[in-house]
Amino acid sequence: MNATEARKKRSSSTLVERTRRDRNRATRIGRLVTEASIEHTLQQIMEIEDVSAAELAKRVKSKPPQISRDLHGGLSKARVSRLATLAGALGYDFIPMFIPRDDLEKRRALLDVTRDVLFKPHTRKRSRQEKASA
Amino acid sequence: MPTKRTDRELTIHVGQHRSFEWYWAPKGTMPGLDAYDDLPAREQDDFLASVIHWGGVPPGIRPLQTRINDEHDDPLIVAIKAGKHRFTAFREEHGSTWIVSHHYLKEGQRRDKTGDRAIKRAIAARTDYCRKTSEGTYYERN
């Protein structure tokens, strides 16, 4: 029996589900995951666009250590304007969205579309090829 | 004193792309879960956030290094981060479940002897896990 088969057989709740029953902890975990997601998305865009931290620093007229701080937890305290500036320097728009919490289907669909557009390997490859041919 | 655990405590998280569970040692203990239980709630939440983040990252995309770090190449052992706390994890042989085995504290810039020992214990845990799952004696012990 592998891990998935064993999990299906025991069908108990997960540690994350049990912890999220506490509202305060669910909120804190949600905030931490969102912060990680913003940082991860920015790093992915930098990879897609082949922009180093040093290059990004030059584009936004910051010092490289500031960008390094941004990419290692600093964005959790960043203003919306800072995120917009960084996105703009990478050729992207930063669009804040308000998504209803209860409509899980719409929520997942939206997140899936965003991930597909940004992170699918073929998208990254095309982006690099386009860059090379430009 | 390590606590004896049951299989109901195994699963940490089932993500869109990866799942996570504690390593269940031969004596019925879960060293990772014991260490997790000893952490303050804030640090526990930080660990869970790392797990949720990684569970949602599609295969082939690197997760955040501030959350997940490769610690050993062959076999692959990663550290799931929660502040200064690190939880070692290895992947099951055929599937997308990661087994979280041991805990260590990372105080300095580089991994110290405590970290090295935790990696060695994780490698030994992986050997035990792979052998017992192929024999059909890992999950079937209750």
Q: Which residue has the higher pLDDT, B100 or A134?
A: B100
**pLDDT tens per residue, range A75-90:** 878 889 999 999 999 9
pLDDT band at B103 (very low <50, low <70, confident <90, very high): very high
Subunit contact B53:A36, Cβ cutoff 8 A: yes
Taking Cα atoms as reference points, which of B106, B17, B77, B134 lies closest to residue A1? B134
Neighboring chain A residues of B80 at a CB cutoff of 8 Å: none
**pLDDT tens per residue, range A8-43:** 888 789 999 999 999 999 999 999 998 999 899 899
With contact defined as beta carbons under 8 Å apart, do B23 and B101 qualify? yes
Q: Which of B8, B46, B140 is nearest residue A1 as measured by Cβ atoms?
A: B140
Subunit contact B45:A29, Cβ cutoff 8 A: yes
SS3 category, A76: helix
Neighboring chain B residues of A32 at a CB cutoff of 8 Å: 45-46, 49
How is residue B58 written in tokens? 């599609």
What ipTM goes with this model?
Answer: 0.92
With contact defined as beta carbons under 8 Å apart, do B44 and B36 qualify? yes
pTM of the full structure:
0.85
At residue B45, does pLDDT exceed 80? yes
CATH C-level class of A14-94: mainly alpha
Taking Cα atoms as reference points, which of B10, B25, B100 lies closest to residue A5? B10
Q: Give the pLDDT score at A97.
A: 80
